[in-house]
Amino acid sequence: MQITSPVESSQLNVVGEASVSWGKVRGIVLLSLTFLLSIASASVKVAEADSQRPNFIVILCDNLGYGDVGCFGSQAHRTPNIDQLAASGLKLTNFYSTSGVCTPARASLQTGRYPRRVGLHETDIDGAVLRPVSHNGLSSNEITIAEVLKQRGYATTLIGKWHLGDQPQFLPTRQGYDEYFGLPYSDDMVGDKRPGWPPLPLMEGEDVIEAPVDRNLLTKRYTERVIQFIETHQQQPFFVLLSHAMPGSTPQPFASEEFRGKSLNGAWGDSVEEIDWSTGQIVNKLEQLGIDDETLIVWTSDNGAPRFRTPAGSNAPFATWGYSATEGGQRVPCVVHWPTKVPAGSVSDVLCSMMDILPTCARLANTSLPSNHIIDGYDLSEVLLGRKNSSPYDAFYYYLRGDLQAVRGPQWKLQLTNGQLFDMRSDPLEQVDVSAEHPEIVAALQDFAARARDELGDGEQIGTGQGTAGYEASPLPRLLR
């Protein structure tokens, strides 16, 4: 720094010392300003991050088929609210459950992991799904979507069917959910079905509040609880998992009086149309509160519709049924709605699955995934927001209980049971085997299958990444006290 004023030589030392002192002061000031600016910048980033905490509502139907709603082709069911959700949002036409039955699929939704990695692909004594008074349940070592979101300040609730263990240590309240209201397992697991099973319990938290519950009122009561939770937590980010009991696992699903006998498809249609009403009530509440633009809704099903002799669900255009490792069993309808964010009227055939819900919500909430857990799902946020239209999956695996049945990439699917190869883009109904024309594709998918067997397991083969379910040595029935 130069001193431009003329000075006497006797003053040079004094002036020099002064210039040095001013230089130090200036440096300190600049450093302080830089520090304050960095703090301000960090504060802005934190504020931006906090503003990127949308509410999440996942609506999960039970055993509802691919062709059971209007926007996916149903002519039997009137579903104007779900159809409007799709018209103003995104339809995912290649969205998969990880299983054709309830428990494994729900384990994947909660954890973002394949059922074998969680140890709930099947369990001793129970079989394909957990039963009342089971020894087994979702391990406390697993990290659920609710636990991931709670670290970002989300209020969390599960309303409806759980089916991941009915013992206290397995219940939603021990797995990251602030509140729980619903059935601990399927609506068909009633007290007179098997010796030792209790009357079908409706639970609040960890207590049974009714038994047996009136199943005709479940959809209505669940909807009322969702609305109550939204109203209570509208000033903070929230996560709602509405896990409907319907259409459910009985040949004659249940519905309230307002909907019973009103559809063109018997009791199954009645229950579907009441679920549509429920969806409309929730969307209306979000709009009334002015938080619909801040709320991402995912509407889907846990697996395809099972085959019943009475009027039942539809997996059209697929000919196969629920409870199987097939397109009819595992490909499910999915609608994503987020006004101003998800492009209205969009349709994507990107290969994706319910395992993607956890990492996608984590990304949109600007929170981290568990570092000590392998997540099999992927962040789909760029797909949902219309910025990308390619699948993150190199391979997706179809398991029937613990047996690997098929492997699919974005375009090709290999049936491991008979070696048939199908082009799922041009032949989604799997009518033309093209394995002879594409031996290199067959070899590549077989390589992926070998990796799955090594890591996840297959049949009696234990995978290196296979997990174990939680276990209770002395389970007790959930009874009304």
Catalytic center residues: 102, 163
3-class secondary-structure state, position 219: helix
SS3 359: helix
Task: Specify whether the CB–CB gap between 94 and 435 falls below 8 A.
Answer: no
Beta sheet of 396-400, edge-to-edge order: 396-400, 403-408, 412-415, 421-423
Separation between Cα atoms, residue 137 and residue 103, nearest integer Å: 9
Q: List helix spans (H) across 233-307.
A: 266-289
Amino acid at 229: F
Give the relative orientation of helices 80-87 and 266-289 as an angle to the nearest 10 degrees.
50
Task: Report d(CA 425, CA 405) in Å as an integer.
Answer: 20
CA distance 298 to 300: 7
Distance between terminal CA atoms of the chain? 85
Other C-beta atoms lying within 10 Å of the C-beta of residue 403: 16
Select from 23, 36, 49, 4 the least CA-distant residue to 365: 49
Q: Is the CB of residue 282 less than 8 Å from the CB of residue 299?
A: no
Q: Are 293 and 339 in contact (CB under 8 A)?
A: yes
At 383, list the tokens: 């797909």
Q: Give CA 297 to chain center in angstroms.
A: 11
Dihedral sign, CA of 472, 474, 477, 479? negative
Burial of 275 (0-12, 13-18, 19+ CB in 10 A): buried
Q: Give how far Cα 1 sits from Cα of 11, 15, 24, 148, Å.
A: 17, 11, 11, 55
CA 147 to each of CA 98, 301, 362: distance values in angstroms, whole numbers, following the listed order? 21, 22, 10
